[in-house]
Protein backbone atom coordinates (compact mmCIF):
# COMPACT_ATOMS: atom_id res chain seq x y z
CA UNK A 1 0.00 0.00 0.00
CA UNK A 2 1.09 3.55 -0.63
CA UNK A 3 1.78 6.09 2.10
CA UNK A 4 -1.42 8.08 1.41
CA UNK A 5 -3.51 4.90 1.88
CA UNK A 6 -1.81 4.14 5.18
CA UNK A 7 -2.26 7.74 6.34
CA UNK A 8 -5.59 8.60 4.69
CA UNK A 9 -6.36 11.95 6.35
CA UNK A 10 -5.95 15.02 4.17
CA UNK A 11 -5.37 18.27 6.00
CA UNK A 12 -7.47 21.32 5.18
CA UNK A 13 -5.21 23.58 3.14
CA UNK A 14 -5.99 26.65 5.27
CA UNK A 15 -5.15 25.00 8.58
CA UNK A 16 -5.12 25.90 11.37
CA UNK A 17 -8.81 26.85 11.37
CA UNK A 18 -8.76 28.56 14.79
CA UNK A 19 -5.99 30.24 16.76
CA UNK A 20 -5.77 32.69 19.65
CA UNK A 21 -6.48 35.60 17.30
CA UNK A 22 -9.85 34.04 16.37
CA UNK A 23 -11.06 34.44 19.97
CA UNK A 24 -12.74 37.79 20.71
CA UNK A 25 -11.25 38.02 24.22
CA UNK A 26 -7.75 37.66 25.64
CA UNK A 27 -6.50 34.10 26.06
CA UNK A 28 -3.38 31.97 25.73
CA UNK A 29 -4.44 29.19 23.34
CA UNK A 30 -7.42 27.40 21.76
CA UNK A 31 -7.31 23.63 21.15
CA UNK A 32 -8.97 20.20 21.74
CA UNK A 33 -12.56 20.91 20.64
CA UNK A 34 -15.70 18.75 20.70
CA UNK A 35 -17.78 18.80 17.51
CA UNK A 36 -21.43 18.29 16.65
CA UNK A 37 -24.17 19.67 14.41
CA UNK A 38 -27.04 21.70 15.85
CA UNK A 39 -29.81 23.36 13.83
CA UNK A 40 -27.89 22.63 10.61
CA UNK A 41 -24.84 24.47 11.86
CA UNK A 42 -21.46 23.03 12.74
CA UNK A 43 -20.60 23.58 16.37
CA UNK A 44 -17.21 23.31 18.01
CA UNK A 45 -16.94 23.43 21.78
CA UNK A 46 -13.47 24.85 22.21
CA UNK A 47 -11.07 24.35 25.06
CA UNK A 48 -9.63 27.81 25.66
CA UNK A 49 -6.75 28.28 28.04
CA UNK A 50 -6.83 31.67 29.73
CA UNK A 51 -3.82 33.76 30.65
CA UNK A 52 -3.59 32.08 34.09
CA UNK A 53 -3.27 28.68 32.40
CA UNK A 54 -6.77 27.50 33.39
CA UNK A 55 -9.19 26.22 30.74
CA UNK A 56 -12.89 26.85 30.03
CA UNK A 57 -15.20 25.92 27.13
CA UNK A 58 -16.53 28.31 24.50
CA UNK A 59 -18.75 27.70 21.46
CA UNK A 60 -17.82 28.44 17.84
CA UNK A 61 -20.31 28.17 14.92
CA UNK A 62 -19.95 27.56 11.21
CA UNK A 63 -22.17 27.08 8.14
CA UNK A 64 -19.63 25.01 6.19
CA UNK A 65 -17.43 23.23 8.75
CA UNK A 66 -14.34 25.19 7.74
CA UNK A 67 -14.93 28.82 8.79
CA UNK A 68 -15.89 29.23 12.43
CA UNK A 69 -16.92 32.24 14.44
CA UNK A 70 -16.11 32.13 18.15
CA UNK A 71 -18.72 33.43 20.61
CA UNK A 72 -18.01 36.57 22.62
CA UNK A 73 -18.07 34.83 25.99
CA UNK A 74 -17.13 31.50 27.58
CA UNK A 75 -19.99 28.98 27.96
CA UNK A 76 -18.85 26.38 30.51
CA UNK A 77 -16.52 27.63 33.26
CA UNK A 78 -15.38 25.94 36.46
CA UNK A 79 -18.38 25.71 38.78
CA UNK A 80 -18.85 27.52 42.07
CA UNK A 81 -21.24 24.84 43.38
CA UNK A 82 -19.56 23.96 46.72
CA UNK A 83 -19.95 20.18 46.14
CA UNK A 84 -17.95 20.24 42.94
CA UNK A 85 -15.90 23.45 43.04
CA UNK A 86 -12.63 21.94 44.21
CA UNK A 87 -12.62 19.35 41.42
CA UNK A 88 -12.90 21.99 38.68
CA UNK A 89 -10.83 24.66 40.40
CA UNK A 90 -8.00 24.60 37.84
CA UNK A 91 -10.18 24.24 34.77
CA UNK A 92 -12.57 22.29 32.55
CA UNK A 93 -10.80 20.64 29.61
CA UNK A 94 -11.01 18.40 26.54
CA UNK A 95 -14.80 18.14 25.95
CA UNK A 96 -16.55 15.49 23.88
CA UNK A 97 -20.19 15.71 22.73
CA UNK A 98 -22.50 12.72 22.33
CA UNK A 99 -25.99 13.22 20.93
CA UNK A 100 -28.75 10.94 22.24
CA UNK A 101 -32.07 11.82 20.66
CA UNK A 102 -32.68 15.49 21.53
CA UNK A 103 -30.09 15.62 24.29
CA UNK A 104 -26.44 16.46 23.88
CA UNK A 105 -24.22 14.99 26.59
CA UNK A 106 -20.89 16.64 27.23
CA UNK A 107 -18.11 14.68 28.89
CA UNK A 108 -15.05 16.67 29.98
CA UNK A 109 -12.02 16.63 32.24
CA UNK A 110 -12.48 18.41 35.54
CA UNK A 111 -9.09 19.51 36.80
CA UNK A 112 -8.31 20.43 40.39
CA UNK A 113 -5.69 20.07 43.12
CA UNK A 114 -6.25 16.30 43.42
CA UNK A 115 -5.71 15.69 39.70
CA UNK A 116 -7.88 15.22 36.62
CA UNK A 117 -11.19 13.33 36.72
CA UNK A 118 -14.11 13.09 34.32
CA UNK A 119 -17.50 14.78 34.52
CA UNK A 120 -20.71 14.69 32.49
CA UNK A 121 -23.45 17.23 31.85
CA UNK A 122 -26.11 17.85 29.25
CA UNK A 123 -27.88 20.45 27.17
CA UNK A 124 -30.77 20.50 24.73
CA UNK A 125 -30.29 24.02 23.37
CA UNK A 126 -26.61 24.94 23.81
CA UNK A 127 -27.73 27.73 26.14
CA UNK A 128 -28.48 25.98 29.44
CA UNK A 129 -25.90 23.47 30.65
CA UNK A 130 -26.83 21.08 33.44
CA UNK A 131 -24.09 19.23 35.32
CA UNK A 132 -25.06 15.60 36.00
CA UNK A 133 -22.15 14.05 37.89
CA UNK A 134 -18.44 13.56 38.37
CA UNK A 135 -18.12 10.08 36.89
CA UNK A 136 -14.59 8.91 37.69
CA UNK A 137 -12.13 9.32 40.48
CA UNK A 138 -8.87 11.18 39.88
CA UNK A 139 -6.14 10.28 37.42
CA UNK A 140 -8.70 9.43 34.79
CA UNK A 141 -9.59 11.35 31.62
CA UNK A 142 -10.46 10.95 27.90
CA UNK A 143 -14.06 9.89 28.56
CA UNK A 144 -16.55 9.36 25.72
CA UNK A 145 -20.17 8.23 26.01
CA UNK A 146 -21.85 5.92 23.48
CA UNK A 147 -24.77 7.57 21.64
CA UNK A 148 -27.30 4.90 22.64
CA UNK A 149 -27.90 2.46 25.46
CA UNK A 150 -26.52 -1.02 24.80
CA UNK A 151 -28.34 -3.93 26.46
CA UNK A 152 -30.32 -1.29 28.42
CA UNK A 153 -27.18 0.29 29.91
CA UNK A 154 -25.31 3.53 29.24
CA UNK A 155 -21.74 2.77 28.20
CA UNK A 156 -18.60 4.89 28.34
CA UNK A 157 -14.92 4.55 27.60
CA UNK A 158 -12.29 6.10 29.88
CA UNK A 159 -8.57 6.06 30.62
CA UNK A 160 -7.56 5.48 34.22
CA UNK A 161 -3.85 5.88 34.89
CA UNK A 162 -1.23 7.32 32.57
CA UNK A 163 0.07 9.75 35.18
CA UNK A 164 3.32 9.95 37.13
CA UNK A 165 5.05 7.71 34.57
CA UNK A 166 2.41 4.96 34.99
CA UNK A 167 1.07 3.28 31.87
CA UNK A 168 -2.44 4.25 30.75
CA UNK A 169 -4.84 1.83 29.01
CA UNK A 170 -8.32 2.29 27.55
CA UNK A 171 -11.21 0.86 29.65
CA UNK A 172 -14.95 0.50 29.12
CA UNK A 173 -17.75 0.48 31.73
CA UNK A 174 -21.51 0.71 32.05
CA UNK A 175 -24.19 2.44 34.09
CA UNK A 176 -27.95 2.26 34.67
CA UNK A 177 -28.27 6.02 35.26
CA UNK A 178 -25.15 7.94 34.01
CA UNK A 179 -24.10 8.46 37.65
CA UNK A 180 -23.03 5.06 39.00
CA UNK A 181 -20.50 3.28 36.78
CA UNK A 182 -19.11 -0.23 37.06
CA UNK A 183 -18.28 -3.58 35.46
CA UNK A 184 -15.07 -1.98 34.14
CA UNK A 185 -12.98 -3.95 31.65
CA UNK A 186 -9.81 -3.20 29.69
CA UNK A 187 -10.66 -2.45 26.08
CA UNK A 188 -7.26 -1.75 24.55
CA UNK A 189 -3.90 -1.88 26.33
CA UNK A 190 -0.81 0.19 25.54
CA UNK A 191 1.80 -1.96 23.78
CA UNK A 192 5.42 -1.03 23.06
CA UNK A 193 5.54 1.04 19.87
CA UNK A 194 3.81 4.22 18.74
CA UNK A 195 1.41 4.20 21.72
CA UNK A 196 3.64 2.48 24.23
CA UNK A 197 3.31 4.92 27.12
CA UNK A 198 -0.45 5.54 27.17
CA UNK A 199 -3.58 5.44 25.08
CA UNK A 200 -6.78 7.49 25.34
CA UNK A 201 -9.97 7.64 23.36
CA UNK A 202 -10.26 10.70 21.14
CA UNK A 203 -13.75 10.83 19.65
CA UNK A 204 -17.20 9.55 20.67
CA UNK A 205 -18.11 6.19 19.10
CA UNK A 206 -19.52 6.42 15.58
CA UNK A 207 -22.00 3.69 14.58
CA UNK A 208 -21.06 2.09 11.24
CA UNK A 209 -22.10 -1.08 9.42
CA UNK A 210 -18.78 -2.61 10.49
CA UNK A 211 -19.01 -1.78 14.21
CA UNK A 212 -18.48 1.21 16.48
CA UNK A 213 -15.64 3.27 15.04
CA UNK A 214 -13.52 4.94 17.71
CA UNK A 215 -10.43 7.08 17.12
CA UNK A 216 -7.87 7.05 19.91
CA UNK A 217 -4.54 8.67 20.59
CA UNK A 218 -1.36 6.84 21.43
CA UNK A 219 1.49 8.50 23.28
CA UNK A 220 5.10 7.59 22.81
CA UNK A 221 7.51 8.91 25.37
CA UNK A 222 10.78 10.03 23.74
CA UNK A 223 13.92 11.81 24.99
CA UNK A 224 12.51 14.92 23.26
CA UNK A 225 9.09 14.68 24.97
CA UNK A 226 5.78 12.97 24.27
CA UNK A 227 4.53 12.29 20.73
CA UNK A 228 0.72 12.17 20.32
CA UNK A 229 -0.61 10.23 17.29
CA UNK A 230 -3.91 8.69 16.23
CA UNK A 231 -5.19 5.18 15.57
CA UNK A 232 -8.69 3.77 15.12
CA UNK A 233 -10.56 0.68 16.31
CA UNK A 234 -13.86 -1.05 15.62
CA UNK A 235 -15.96 -2.45 18.47
CA UNK A 236 -18.79 -4.96 18.25
CA UNK A 237 -22.13 -3.19 18.00
CA UNK A 238 -23.96 -5.35 20.57
CA UNK A 239 -20.96 -5.98 22.80
CA UNK A 240 -18.56 -3.02 22.58
CA UNK A 241 -16.28 -4.60 25.19
CA UNK A 242 -15.02 -6.63 22.25
CA UNK A 243 -12.54 -5.02 19.83
CA UNK A 244 -13.14 -6.36 16.33
CA UNK A 245 -9.90 -4.93 14.97
CA UNK A 246 -7.66 -1.88 15.23
CA UNK A 247 -5.28 -0.17 12.86
CA UNK A 248 -1.87 -1.86 12.74
CA UNK A 249 -0.10 1.50 13.06
CA UNK A 250 -0.90 5.15 13.70
CA UNK A 251 -2.88 6.69 10.84
CA UNK A 252 -2.39 10.37 11.63
CA UNK A 253 0.41 12.20 13.40
CA UNK A 254 2.12 15.58 13.73
CA UNK A 255 3.90 16.69 10.56
CA UNK A 256 3.02 20.30 9.81
CA UNK A 257 4.70 23.21 11.59
CA UNK A 258 1.49 24.09 13.52
CA UNK A 259 1.44 20.51 14.88
CA UNK A 260 5.17 20.35 15.56
CA UNK A 261 5.53 23.76 17.24
CA UNK A 262 3.47 25.32 20.01
CA UNK A 263 2.98 25.18 23.78
CA UNK A 264 3.22 21.37 23.66
CA UNK A 265 5.04 20.30 20.49
CA UNK A 266 4.28 17.19 18.44
CA UNK A 267 0.64 16.82 19.45
CA UNK A 268 -2.45 16.09 17.37
CA UNK A 269 -5.41 15.67 19.72
CA UNK A 270 -8.90 15.19 18.21
CA UNK A 271 -11.96 15.39 20.47
CA UNK A 272 -14.66 15.56 17.81
CA UNK A 273 -15.68 14.55 14.31
CA UNK A 274 -18.55 15.11 11.90
CA UNK A 275 -19.62 12.41 9.43
CA UNK A 276 -20.86 14.07 6.24
CA UNK A 277 -23.61 12.62 4.03
CA UNK A 278 -21.04 11.48 1.46
CA UNK A 279 -19.28 9.47 4.22
CA UNK A 280 -16.38 11.90 4.60
CA UNK A 281 -15.16 12.26 8.15
CA UNK A 282 -14.20 15.74 9.28
CA UNK A 283 -11.79 15.30 12.18
CA UNK A 284 -11.23 18.38 14.35
CA UNK A 285 -8.06 18.27 16.38
CA UNK A 286 -5.95 20.34 18.71
CA UNK A 287 -2.51 21.01 17.24
CA UNK A 288 0.42 21.42 19.63
CA UNK A 289 -2.02 22.57 22.37
CA UNK A 290 -2.09 25.91 20.54
CA UNK A 291 -4.49 25.76 17.54
CA UNK A 292 -7.45 23.85 16.14
CA UNK A 293 -7.04 22.17 12.77
CA UNK A 294 -9.13 19.97 10.47
CA UNK A 295 -8.35 16.88 8.41
CA UNK A 296 -10.68 14.76 6.26
CA UNK A 297 -10.79 11.08 5.28
CA UNK A 298 -13.26 8.64 3.80
CA UNK A 299 -15.03 6.43 6.32
CA UNK A 300 -14.49 3.31 4.22
CA UNK A 301 -10.72 3.91 4.11
CA UNK A 302 -10.57 4.06 7.90
CA UNK A 303 -12.65 0.90 8.29
CA UNK A 304 -10.40 -0.87 5.79
CA UNK A 305 -7.29 0.17 7.71
CA UNK A 306 -8.80 -1.11 10.98
CA UNK A 307 -9.46 -4.47 9.32
CA UNK A 308 -5.78 -4.67 8.27
CA UNK A 309 -4.74 -4.71 11.91
CA UNK A 310 -4.84 -7.26 14.70
CA UNK A 311 -8.19 -8.96 15.21
CA UNK A 312 -9.44 -10.69 18.31
C1 LIG B 1 -3.08 15.32 27.49
C2 LIG B 1 -4.26 16.25 27.68
C3 LIG B 1 -4.52 17.06 26.47
C4 LIG B 1 -3.28 17.64 25.85
C5 LIG B 1 -2.19 16.59 25.75
C6 LIG B 1 -0.89 17.13 25.22
O7 LIG B 1 -2.74 14.71 28.70
O8 LIG B 1 -4.01 17.11 28.77
O9 LIG B 1 -5.35 18.13 26.84
O10 LIG B 1 -3.59 18.10 24.56
O11 LIG B 1 -1.97 16.03 27.02
O12 LIG B 1 -0.39 18.13 26.06
pLDDT (0 to 100) of residue 97: 98
Q: Which atom of ligand 1 is the closest one to the Cα of 226? A: 6
- Residues 59 and 43: their CA atoms lie apart, in Å, by 7
**Looking at residue 288, what DSSP letter applies?**
T
pLDDT (0 to 100) of residue 143: 98
Residue nearest to atom 12 of ligand 1 (CA): 264
Tell me the best of 159, 262, 264 to mutate to test the pocket of ligand 1, counting ligand atoms within 8 Å of each CB and taking the most: 264
pLDDT (0 to 100) of residue 32: 98
Helix (H) or strand (E) holding 300: helix 299-307
User: What is the Å distance from ligand 1's center to 162 Cα?
Assistant: 11
User: What is the Å distance from ligand 1's center to 209 Cα?
Assistant: 31
* DSSP per-residue letters across 215-232: EEEEEEEETTEEEEEEEE
Where do the structural domains in the chain lie, given as residue ranges?
10-308
- Residues 136 and 119: their CA atoms lie apart, in Å, by 7
Give ligand 1 pocket residues (Cβ under 6 A).
Answer: 32, 93-94, 228, 264, 267, 269, 286, 289
Residue nearest to atom 2 of ligand 1 (CA): 94
pLDDT (0 to 100) of residue 5: 72
pLDDT (0 to 100) of residue 4: 67
Residue nearest to atom 4 of ligand 1 (CA): 289
Taken in order 60, 62, 65, 66, the sign of the CA dihedral is negative
Q: Which atom of ligand 1 is the closest one to the Cα of 263? A: 12
- Residues 208 and 90: their CA atoms lie apart, in Å, by 37
pLDDT (0 to 100) of residue 180: 98
Q: Which atom of ligand 1 is the closest one to the Cα of 289? A: 10
pLDDT (0 to 100) of residue 164: 86
pLDDT (0 to 100) of residue 312: 63
**CATH homologous superfamily of 10-308:** Glycosyl hydrolase domain; family 43 (2.115.10.20)
- Predicted TM-score of the model (pTM): 0.97
Burial class (CB in 10 A: 0-12, 13-18, 19+), 43: buried
Burial class (CB in 10 A: 0-12, 13-18, 19+), 284: buried
Tens digit of pLDDT per residue, the chain (312 long)? 676 678 899 999 999 999 999 999 999 999 999 999 999 999 999 999 999 999 999 999 999 999 999 999 999 999 999 999 999 999 999 999 999 999 999 999 999 999 999 999 999 999 999 999 999 999 999 999 999 999 999 999 999 999 988 899 999 999 999 999 999 999 999 999 999 999 999 999 999 999 999 999 999 999 999 999 999 999 999 999 999 999 999 999 999 999 999 999 999 999 999 999 999 999 999 999 999 999 999 999 999 999 998 776
**Looking at residue 43, what DSSP letter applies?**
E
The C-alpha angle 78, 15, 254, rounded to 5 degrees, equals: 80
pLDDT (0 to 100) of residue 311: 73
End-to-end CA distance of the chain: 23
- Residues 262 and 49: their CA atoms lie apart, in Å, by 13
Amino acid sequence: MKQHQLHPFIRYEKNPILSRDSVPYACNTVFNAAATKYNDKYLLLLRIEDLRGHSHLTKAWSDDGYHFEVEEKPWICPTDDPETEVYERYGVEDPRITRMNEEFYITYTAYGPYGPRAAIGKTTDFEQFERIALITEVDNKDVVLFPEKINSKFVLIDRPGGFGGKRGDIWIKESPDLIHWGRARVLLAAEPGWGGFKLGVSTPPLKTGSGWLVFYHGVRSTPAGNLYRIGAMLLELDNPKKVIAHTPHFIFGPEESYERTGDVPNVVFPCGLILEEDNTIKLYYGAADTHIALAEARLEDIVELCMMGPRE
